Every structure is written in structure tokens, then in C-alpha cells.
Structure 1
Amino acid sequence: MDYGQELRFGLFPSPDAADPQHVLLLAQLAEVSGLDLVTVQDHPYQARHLDAWTLLSVIAARSSSLRVALNVANLPLRPPVVLARSIATLDLLSGGRAELGLGAGAFWDAIVAAGGRRLTPAQSVDALREGIEVIRGVWQPTGSPTVRVEGSHYQVVGLHPGPEPAHPVEIWLGAYKPRMLRLTGRCADGWLPSMGYADPEVLAGMNEVIDTAARDAGRDPASVRRLYNVNGRFSRVRGGSGLSGTPAEWAEQLAELAVALGMSTFILGTDDVDAVRVFGEEVAPRVRDLVDIARAAPRVGADSADDEREGVVLQSPEPVATQTNPLLDVRVTSDDGMRLSDQAAWDESTRPRFPAPAQFAYTAQQQAAPQHLVDVHDGLRSELERLRDIVRQVAEGQVSIGSARSAINRMTLRQNNWTLGAYCEQYCRVVTGHHSLEDASVFPHLRRVAGAGPVLDRLSQEHEVIHELLEALDRALVTLVVEASDGSAGGAGIRQLQEVLDLVTDALLSHLSYEERELLHPLAQAGFY
């Protein structure tokens, strides 16, 4: 079951006290690679681990876009009032980037050795429920009634609430047994299991327990975020525990978990820098595209599906609509012909056209596929405008762009050109991932539509040109970073970046308009897959 939740991707590194700088490097790499979240396990009795809360605070301070969370907090050794105020404080200091993974406790001998109380499984769940009530009481707005929780494990009476977090902090429970799963459905904002303890084949049943408890409590099951700690290895061969295979195969496995089982936040447990980079740069964008396509529209009709399996070339539908009764709601984006660069990426006059039918009728379901393409392109256009605005600010000497623009999309920019470079690079990866998915899966499917082949060939050629232009943009960013190493901005580096960015803008906007116009009918007739 797909709950339709926003996809997020994160990192779960080991808080190794023997090499603390490596942990910070992994977190920095996670941000530059486009990941959304860094989480840290919390075992206060473990002498080989850095203190999880202190580590998260440093990661949040050194990053500008990453959300941070305990995965999961050890409630028996972290009093809920202190934990609540710690979370709220970090959320305020980080601009609303703290979340709370919470657990009932485990490894009770170690907890007792560290001064905690030993609890039975039933007692630990009751204590967790009371702890959640205390934490949410502390997070009430200033001026709210005093916190009053008189439980068997926590007695908090007359405490003034506050500070209030910067945003509604989510509480995610690490839960596996039925009683904890029911508590998740009734009280939590998210469910955070781990691969190895809850492998994919058992997720559906656990989700159902959460969903039933949520409905019984009058909640929408989709309001409970589904997170998943995952592990595995990148290789040419599938097999073994966890995820396996190439980055593309990882993406397929994660997309299936999202669409079929509703998991929406994937947190990779690894200390390998290459795995972090591949997960952020290659896997995450492809998963997003695959899930977007799956959510856009189902395959059009059983008859069409049967024809495709037999290799029948799809033809234009019978012309049942008239010019006075148009049934097309999709509005493609026209090319206004304006160009910023005196160079040209290609000769536009040689572009082939799709022989669109003079009359046509498409259902709303059929129109969903071309409309989704327009929506995805609109996102790329919007990001391109943001990118250009950042470059403009840097060129004008507005170095303190972190305070001038506190957020671009989900990013908070730092006050240096490296952050500018990281943002540009992330945008380039999004564009490249979108084109790679089209070339690898969407375009081969659309070749079944009569007359679409020449257009698809041209679009693939333009994808290659855009890829080369994005690499040129990367090189310009390197020049800018080197030039600005003394803290200044401007000069040859920024001029080169602007020139390449102008050419990228011309090529990309022209290409997106051409693609929407020429693929409107093929997508309406055949869908994405």
C-alpha cells in the first residue's frame, strides 16, 4: 500500500569514538550528495560510541540542510523532560531540522549498569507511552497549562512547558512487537524499523497493525510516516542480505518498497564514503523518478497492455472529438524563443516532429502521463530559476546569502561559494537522473507508438548534449571554488560560471518545451510503461 508520503533519504553512520572526524566527514558528504537526513544510534552505556546527542548537535551546526534525529533515543537513560528540551533547543538553533526517533529500551543489563531501571517488556511500553505524553507536554506553546503526567513511571506535575520547537517535531518509534506497533498507530508520527529485524516480507503485516490502531484512534494511517533503516552492498550480482546489485537495481528495490509497502524514508546504514555518494547521487534521484511515474497513472486499459505484450505497434485513437469540443486539459510549455547566450547547443531547425492526429479524445487517465511530464519539467524550471538567482547574488557580492535566502527548496544556504557549488551540483544530478530514466525505460516503451521514433532519437541526442553542458558547469564551479578560496567572490570564475549557466539555461528550457510538445500524444496513447 502506497501512503503517498514524500520520499526522503538519509544516512545512519556508526558514532565511532575512535574516529570522530570520519563521522563528521560522512555527514558532510551526505549533505553534498543530496541526502535529507542523518541519524545516530543512542547507546549511552557504550564506551566505544560518541555521545549521540552531542554528535547530532555538531552535525546540525556544520550543515545547512540536513535533518538530524536520534535512531532511536534510549528513553530509560534520557529523562523525557530533559530530552524534550534538548530536542526543542536544537530544533530552534538549526532552523527546524530536528526530529526524534524514540525507543522503549533494550540491552537491559547495560542500562542497569549505567544507572537505569530494569523494566519488563510491558513496563517499557507503558513507560514509553508516558514519556511521549511528557515530551509533547513540554513542547506546548508558551502560556499553555503546566505539564501534568502522573504515570507509573514518570510523574511530572506543575512543570511550565517550553521551549516550543521551531517546527512540529515528529516522534518516530522503533517498534516490532504488536503492542509497540499499536502504540505507534495511536500516538506516533512515524514508524522506524530496521532491515534485519523487520525484513521486507514482514512489513505489510506490521503496517496493518499500525493502520488498524490508527483508525481505531480516529487517525488517518497515512499520517504515520514509514521510515526504514536499510543496509546492503553495491555489486554487479544480486544476492545476500539487505539490498544488493547495481545502483539502478537498488533504486528498483526501494521504489517497490515505497509503492507496494508504503515505506517513504530510507536511511542507509554505512560508514563507506563511496556508498554514501552513490546512495545520494544515483539511487535517491532514480527512486524518486520511479515512484513519481508509478504514482502518476496506471497503464491505460487491459487491451493496451495485451497489445504491448504481443508487440503490437500502438496507433493513434479514432478521431471522436471535434475542434468545437476539445478534451485536452494538458497545457505544454511553449518556447518563447528568447536566448541568453550567443552560442547554440544544437540546430533547432533540424528537430523532427511527431505526426499528431488532427482530432483526438483522451480520458483524464490518459492525460495524467503527459501532465506529469509537464509537472516534473516545471519543477526543473523552478529549480533553474533558483539556481540563477543564487549565482546572481554571488556575482553582486552578496556573500552572506545564507541570511539573505534562508531556504531554497529544502536547503538553507551557508555563507560561502562551496555551498553554492553543492547546490548547483545537486541540481545537475536531478536533471541527469531525470534524463537517464527517460532514456533507459520511458523512451523504449514509447517507441511502440507509430511515428515517435525520430523524435525519441533526437531527444536522446539532446540529453547527451545537456549532460556535456552540465559537466562544463561542474568545471566552472571548480574554478569558482578555487578562486574564492580566500573568501572573495567574483572575477573570472563567476563570469565563466554565468556564461556556462546561460548556455545550460537556453538548452534546457528549449529541450523541455520540445519534449513536452512532441511527447504529448505518445504519452497520452501509451503512458509511461
Structure 2
Amino acid sequence: MLLRIFTEPQQGAGYETLLRVAKATEEYGFDAFFRSDHYLKMGDVSGLPGPSDAWITLAGLARETRRIRLGTLVTAATFRLPGPLAISVANVDDMSGGRVELGLGTGWFDDEHTAYGIPFPGLAERFDRLEEQLAIVTGLWETPENKTFDHRGTYYQVTDSPALPKPAQRPRPPIIIGGVGAKRTPRLAARYADEYNVPFHSVDDTGAAYERVRAACESGGREHGSIVLSAAQVVCCGRDEAELRRRADAIGRTVEDLRAGGLAGTPAEIVDKIGRFGELGAARIYLQTLDLEDLEHLELLASDVLPQV
């Protein structure tokens, strides 16, 4: 089981904070550093110093790290046109020496769109746009050199594109698709995803979502074992109850809620719950780390959880 650190910078984290966490992620032996792609805080926090662009910060981290994978969970298709997105991700992949992964989703947070003047169509259209973006981004990356790429869609038209630049990873960086939608999400994952992620759901609900994706793979003629399964869970670890409650208080959550709906407790408790996801077929767990000033938390996870999974 690979453990990945997953951050939410829109809640209040500048680049220097993200850099410290990314370097600790690498030093402590975790597999990857991921960040959300949001432009507005959620909940009762200040949000200072304000939002940061996911791919700009990942570009900086690409030059400051050497081993860990880097990516988004997930980039909103509403934020960027597919051609420029393919260029940006390919650039960061090259800057990192081929360590980038692209999580791509419909976008869901209406308020951040109105706060920054970003159009926010209805859900059906957002899924249609996501499907076209997946086709364009992967098509641009996979087009052979000295060939051109075209796409004639409802929302995007691409004509005689040189399909450059190419990412360092060939044929392309891994694509991650997440969510628990019953129909379109499994179909899109089966067609485009290298990894399917279930964020913030129970073990049972996660297992049901995995089964839907496996069925979609089989219906589409794809071997379901060829797609990596993963889950994202908020993490809160303490050596004892007092330390656990201190960390829960710091992120404005209760220990009881975190135990029920996340990965919370002693290292042994967390290892046990990770094992339950592993029994479903999960190969990666994204540890949503909300207090980015608490590097001792990462150190505890690295020393007492990571070696046991």
C-alpha cells in the first residue's frame, strides 16, 4: 500500500508552507504529494493568504523535490481550457523529470466560480465538458511527434494542433478520475483513467464504487485489474487520546466524527482501517492532512503507520 500526502491549500497555506510539507513528504518516505485545485476556502477559516493555483505551485515543487510523485486531486475541468491544461501539465511533468499525475473532475464548488468569475454550467454539461477534456488532453499527449491532432466536439474544437509539448512520461502522465457517481463516472474511469479514486466515503461505499468501475471496465473490454484503485481519507493520528484530541481540535473536528468518517486514532487503529481498504483492492491511500503546520504529525505517520502498510 502506498501512502500519499494530500493537502488543501485553499484553507490557508502559502507556497512556503506547501514547500515545507512537500519536502517532509519526500524526507519521510511517502510516495507522493498532492494538492486540491480550489480557489475559495471552505468552512470557518480565514483562507489567508488566499488561494494559489495548483499547477503553478506544483511547478515550483517539481524543481524543489527529486523523488515524490506530484499531482492534483482533482483539477476542475471548469477552470481551464483543455489545450492550455495539457500544455501546463506537460511542462510540469518535464520540470519534475516525469513525476506528475493529473486528477481531473467536473468541478463542484459553485461559490468559488462566482467568486472569481468562472462559468459554472449544470452538472450534465460539466460532465460533457469533462469527457471532451479527457479526450483532448490524452489525445494531444498521445499524438506522435510530427503528427497533428484534431477534435470536433460540442464544446471544444481543436484543429491542426502540433500536439506539443510532449510530457516527459510516455505516452502520457497517469490520469486519475474520482467520485462515486453511478453511471458516467465509472464509464469515464474505465475509458480514460489509470487510477480511480473514492474520496471521503465509508469502506462499504468505497467497495461498492470499486465494483461499479470493475463492471464498467468489463463492459468496455478493459481488464479491470489494469486500473489502480485508491481512496482519500482525512487523517488524524495520535499516540494517545490526548494527542489525538489536540490534533482534532486543531482542524475543527471531533475525534468521534473522524473515527467514523476518516482515518483517526492511534497508529494501530489507522493501520487497521487502511487494511480494510486494502482488502477491497485499494493500492493507494491519500492522507488528507489539514493542519499543514504540524509536521510532527507527518513524522508520526511515517514512523508508526507507513512501515506497517
TM-score range, shorter chain: 0.7 to 0.9
After superposition, residues 283-294 of structure 1 pair within 5 angstroms as 283-287=305-309
**Alpha-carbon displacement from aligned partner over 1:41-85 (angstroms, at most 9, x marks no partner):** 112466722221111111121111011001111111111111111
Structure 2: how far apart are the matches of 1:114 and 1:192?
Answer: 28
Q: Is 1:245 aligned with 2:265? A: yes
Q: How many angstroms does 1:14 deviate by?
A: 2.9
Number of residue equivalences? 278
What's 1:207 paired with? Answer: 210
The 1:263–1:281 alpha-carbon spacing in structure 2 relative to 1, beyond 3 Å, is same
Larger Rg: 1
SS of residue paired to 2:142: coil
**Is the 1:232–1:243 contact (alpha carbons within 8 Å) kept by the matching residues of 2?**
yes
Q: How many angstroms does 1:215 deviate by?
A: 0.9
**Is the 1:34–1:281 contact (alpha carbons within 8 Å) kept by the matching residues of 2?**
no
**Alpha-carbon displacement from aligned partner over 1:330-366 (angstroms, at most 9, x marks no partner):** xxxxxxxxxxxxxxxxxxxxxxxxxxxxxxxxxxxxx
Moved over 4 A (4+): 16-19
Alignment equivalent of 2:173, drawn from 153, 157, 169: 169
What's 2:53 paired with? Answer: 51
Structure 1: how far apart are the matches of 2:257 and 2:115?
Answer: 36
Q: How many angstroms does 1:253 deviate by?
A: 1.5
Code of the aligned partner of 2:112: A
Q: Under a length normalisation based on structure 2, what TM-score does the superposition of the two structures give?
A: 0.83
What's 2:301 paired with? Answer: 279
The 1:85–1:268 alpha-carbon spacing in structure 2 relative to 1, beyond 3 Å, is same
Q: How many angstroms does 1:231 deviate by?
A: 1.4
After superposition, residues 85-484 of structure 1 pair within 5 angstroms as 85-143=87-145, 145-167=147-169, 168-178=172-182, 179-195=184-200, 198-235=201-238, 236=240, 239-241=256-258, 242-258=262-278, 260-270=279-289, 271=292, 272-287=294-309
Code of the aligned partner of 1:136: T
**Is the 2:58–2:92 contact (alpha carbons within 8 Å) kept by the matching residues of 1?**
no
Q: How many angstroms does 1:147 deviate by?
A: 1.5
What's 2:22 paired with? Answer: 27
SS of residue paired to 1:164: coil
Q: How many angstroms does 1:249 deviate by?
A: 2.4
What's 1:451 paired with? Answer: none
Alignment equivalent of 1:40, drawn from 32, 35, 41: 35
What's 1:77 paired with? Answer: 79
Q: How many angstroms does 1:239 deviate by?
A: 4.7
**Is the 2:190–2:217 contact (alpha carbons within 8 Å) kept by the matching residues of 1?**
yes
SS of residue paired to 2:17: helix
What's 2:44 paired with? Answer: none
Q: Which runs of 5+ in 1 are unaligned?
A: 1-6, 288-529
Code of the aligned partner of 2:192: C
**Alpha-carbon displacement from aligned partner over 1:364-392 (angstroms, at most 9, x marks no partner):** xxxxxxxxxxxxxxxxxxxxxxxxxxxxx
**Is the 1:77–1:116 contact (alpha carbons within 8 Å) kept by the matching residues of 2?**
yes
**Is the 1:204–1:261 contact (alpha carbons within 8 Å) kept by the matching residues of 2?**
yes
Structure 2: how far apart are the matches of 1:233 and 1:40?
Answer: 18
**Is the 1:147–1:157 contact (alpha carbons within 8 Å) kept by the matching residues of 2?**
yes
**Is the 2:174–2:194 contact (alpha carbons within 8 Å) kept by the matching residues of 1?**
yes
**Alpha-carbon displacement from aligned partner over 1:409-453 (angstroms, at most 9, x marks no partner):** xxxxxxxxxxxxxxxxxxxxxxxxxxxxxxxxxxxxxxxxxxxxx
SS of residue paired to 2:4: strand
Structure 2: how far apart are the matches of 1:281 and 1:222?
Answer: 31
**Is the 1:226–1:265 contact (alpha carbons within 8 Å) kept by the matching residues of 2?**
yes
Higher RCO (C-alpha 8 Å, min separation 6):
2
The 1:202–1:144 alpha-carbon spacing in structure 2 relative to 1, beyond 3 Å, is farther
Q: How many angstroms does 1:109 deviate by?
A: 4.4
SS of residue paired to 1:54: helix
Code of the aligned partner of 2:20: L
The 1:32–1:186 alpha-carbon spacing in structure 2 relative to 1, beyond 3 Å, is same
Q: How many angstroms does 1:280 deviate by?
A: 2.4
**Is the 2:113–2:119 contact (alpha carbons within 8 Å) kept by the matching residues of 1?**
yes
The 1:146–1:115 alpha-carbon spacing in structure 2 relative to 1, beyond 3 Å, is farther
**Is the 1:147–1:159 contact (alpha carbons within 8 Å) kept by the matching residues of 2?**
yes
The 1:232–1:220 alpha-carbon spacing in structure 2 relative to 1, beyond 3 Å, is same
Q: How many angstroms does 1:117 deviate by?
A: 2.7
SS of residue paired to 2:303: helix
**Alpha-carbon displacement from aligned partner over 1:266-324 (angstroms, at most 9, x marks no partner):** 1111123122112223212211xxxxxxxxxxxxxxxxxxxxxxxxxxxxxxxxxxxxx
**Is the 1:175–1:192 contact (alpha carbons within 8 Å) kept by the matching residues of 2?**
yes
Structure 2: how far apart are the matches of 1:19 and 1:132?
Answer: 30
**Is the 1:71–1:102 contact (alpha carbons within 8 Å) kept by the matching residues of 2?**
yes
**Is the 1:12–1:269 contact (alpha carbons within 8 Å) kept by the matching residues of 2?**
yes
Structure 1: how far apart are the matches of 2:20 and 2:40?
Answer: 25
Q: Which runs of 5+ in 2 are unaligned?
A: 42-46, 242-254
The 1:157–1:112 alpha-carbon spacing in structure 2 relative to 1, beyond 3 Å, is farther
**Alpha-carbon displacement from aligned partner over 1:118-159 (angstroms, at most 9, x marks no partner):** 322121111111101100111025435322111112111211
Larger helix share, 1 or 2 = 1
Structure 1: how far apart are the matches of 2:187 and 2:74?
Answer: 18
Structure 2: how far apart are the matches of 1:20 and 1:91?
Answer: 19
Structure 1: how far apart are the matches of 2:88 and 2:220?
Answer: 29
Structure 2: how far apart are the matches of 1:81 and 1:108?
Answer: 23
Larger strand share, 1 or 2 = 2
Percent of residue pairs identical:
29
The 1:147–1:115 alpha-carbon spacing in structure 2 relative to 1, beyond 3 Å, is farther
Q: Under a length normalisation based on structure 1, what TM-score does the superposition of the two structures give?
A: 0.50
